[in-house]
C-alpha cells in the first residue's frame, strides 16, 4: 500500500478513538459538535481507504485488504499506548520508559524477523540500517515521545503527533513517488481537521474558568 495511506490511518485514527472511548466511559460530554467531528473523521478514513488504488506491484486485492486491516490494528494499538504512556513516563521517568519501550519494540521486531527475515536495501550495509532504525527512529523518537507523554494528556498527546502523517505523506511523495488522489486528500483533510478541532476542544477545557 505504500507508506502514505497506512500512516494516515495508523496516526490519525487514534485521537478519534481516544475521544470515542472517553465518551463511552462518560469522561467526555458528547454534544452535537463532537459527534460531527467524529463523523467527519470516520468519513475521512473511509475516503482514504475506499479510494485507494493498488499499484501493479502491490499484489492482489486481498493484499490491500490485509494492509488496511494491519493499519487499523496499528491505530488500535497506538490508541491503547497513548492512553497509558503518560502514566508510564511519569511513573518510570522518560529515560527508563524509553528503555522499556525500545526493548519491547526490539523483541517484537526480532520475533517477526524469525517469521519473515527482514530485507534491507543493498545500497547501504545492513548494519547501518539497523543502527538507524534502532537509534534514530526508535530510541530517540521514543525518548522525545516519553518527554511529551509525561507532560500531556492522552488526547493532547495524540494531537501533538499531527505532524507525523503530514510529514509521511510529503516524504512519500517526494522520495518514493507515492501520492494520494483528490478524494484521498479530501479524506486526509477531514481527518486532520477533526484532530485539530479535538485539540482545540481539549485546550479549551484545560483553561481555568
Alpha helices in the chain (DSSP H): 4-24, 32-50, 61-92, 94-115, 126-131, 141-149, 154-160, 163-176, 182-206
31 band by pLDDT with thresholds 50, 70 and 90:
confident
User: Is pLDDT at 96 greater than 80 in this prediction?
Assistant: yes
29 band by pLDDT with thresholds 50, 70 and 90:
confident
H/E stretch holding 161 reads: none
| Cβ atoms < 10 Å from Cβ of 120 | 14
User: Is pLDDT at 3 greater than 60 in this prediction?
Assistant: yes
And the C-alpha cell for 79? 490508541
pLDDT tens digits, residue range 147-175?
Answer: 776 776 655 655 566 667 777 777 777 77
Amino acid at each position: 500500500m505504500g507508506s502514505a495511506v497506512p500512516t494516515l490511518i495508523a496516526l490519525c485514527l487514534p485521537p478519534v478513538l481516544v475521544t470515542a472511548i472517553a465518551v463511552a466511559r462518560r469522561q467526555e460530554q458528547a454534544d452535537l459538535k463532537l459527534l460531527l467531528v467524529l463523523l467527519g473523521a470516520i468519513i475521512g478514513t473511509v475516503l482514504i481507504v475506499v479510494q485507494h488504488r493498488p499499484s501493479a506491484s502491490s499484489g492482489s486485492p486481498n493484499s490491500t485488504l490485509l494492509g488496511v486491516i494491519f493499519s487499523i490494528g496499528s491505530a488500535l494499538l497506538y490508541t491503547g499506548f497513548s492512553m497509558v504512556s503518560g502514566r508510564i513516563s511519569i511513573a518510570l521517568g522518560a529515560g527508563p520508559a524509553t528503555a522499556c519501550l525500545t526493548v519491547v519494540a526490539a523483541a517484537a521486531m526480532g520475533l517477526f524477523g524469525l517469521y519473515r527475515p527482514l530485507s534491507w536495501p543493498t545500497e547501504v550495509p545492513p548494519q547501518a540500517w539497523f543502527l538507524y532504525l534502532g537509534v534514530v527512529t526508535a530510541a530517540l523518537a521514543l525518548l522525545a515521545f516519553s518527554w511529551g507523554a509525561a507532560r500531556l494528556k492522552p488526547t493532547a498527546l495524540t494531537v501533538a503527533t499531527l505532524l507525523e502523517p503530514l510529514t509521511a505523506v510529503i516524504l512519500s511523495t517526494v522520495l518514493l513517488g507515492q501520492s494520494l488522489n483528490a478524494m484521498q486528500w479530501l479524506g486526509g483533510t477531514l481527518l486532520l481537521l477533526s484532530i485539530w478541532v479535538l485539540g482545540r476542544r481539549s485546550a479549551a477545557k484545560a483553561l481555568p474558568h
